Amino acid sequence: MVKVKVELIDVYCADTEDVTGADDFYLVGSLVGGGITKPILTHPIKINDQQRKSFRPEDALLFEGEIQSGESIKGGLQAYDEDAAKDWNNGYADTVNSITNTVSGALAATGPQGATAATILKVATKGIGILASLDKDDLLGSTELEISATGPANETREWKMSEKGLGFSTWDYNVRYHITRS
């Protein structure tokens, strides 16, 4: 068995989606491996152009558990700019539970080894239905993750997302996360 820990480091914003000021950046998703389903919902981070910000300590842990050698943690993340104000204090725990229940229910049919990272990400984002205003928030990017038990003991990865061009809505973000294997 290999102990794998995946933690968010920070987010860098080269260009916000909002033209009038700071974005409220947050992540949604889930990671699954070794019988563990880890829901992901970070609190919004107010961030402006040319800023780098750390995630809250309670939001930073994406996954921690033991998986078999040769197996992988699967899932994904979606990044949003919050445009519709939400009551994060009252709905947060229910939303996290909803993500867990939705992903666990879907995996019961296929088993964790039969599920793809794309399937887990799709199901996880359905689990956030409690945040009904999510569709009003701006989707900044989506990434599927498959993290193998095999690899370096310490590894830092980056997820880049951007929308460039002449349009009204452009952005440029970079999220860093760290993987520890032991």
pLDDT for res 32: 92
Helix axes of 88-110 and 117-126: crossing angle, nearest 10 degrees: 140
pLDDT for res 137: 81
Mean pLDDT of 46-66: 97
Taking only the tens place, the pLDDT of each residue in 57-81 is: 999 999 999 999 999 999 999 999 9
Taking only the tens place, the pLDDT of each residue in 100-140 is: 666 666 666 566 555 666 666 666 666 555 454 445 788 89
The residues near 52 (Cβ < 8 Å, ≥ 6 apart) are: 10, 11, 12, 13
114-136 in b/e form (b: 16+ CB < 10 A) is ebebebbbbbbbebbebbeebee
pTM of the model: 0.81
Pairwise CA distance, residues 97 & 102, whole Å: 9
Pairwise CA distance, residues 119 & 144, whole Å: 9
Q: Where are the domains of the chain?
A: 2-181
pLDDT for res 115: 65
Worst-scoring range by mean pLDDT, 27-31, 82-86, 91-95?
A: 91-95
Average pLDDT, the chain: 84
In CATH terms, 2-181 corresponds, of 2.60.40.10, 3.30.460.80, 3.40.50.300, 2.60.40.150, to 2.60.40.150
Which of 40, 11, 43, 46 has the alpha carbon at shortest distance from 28? 40
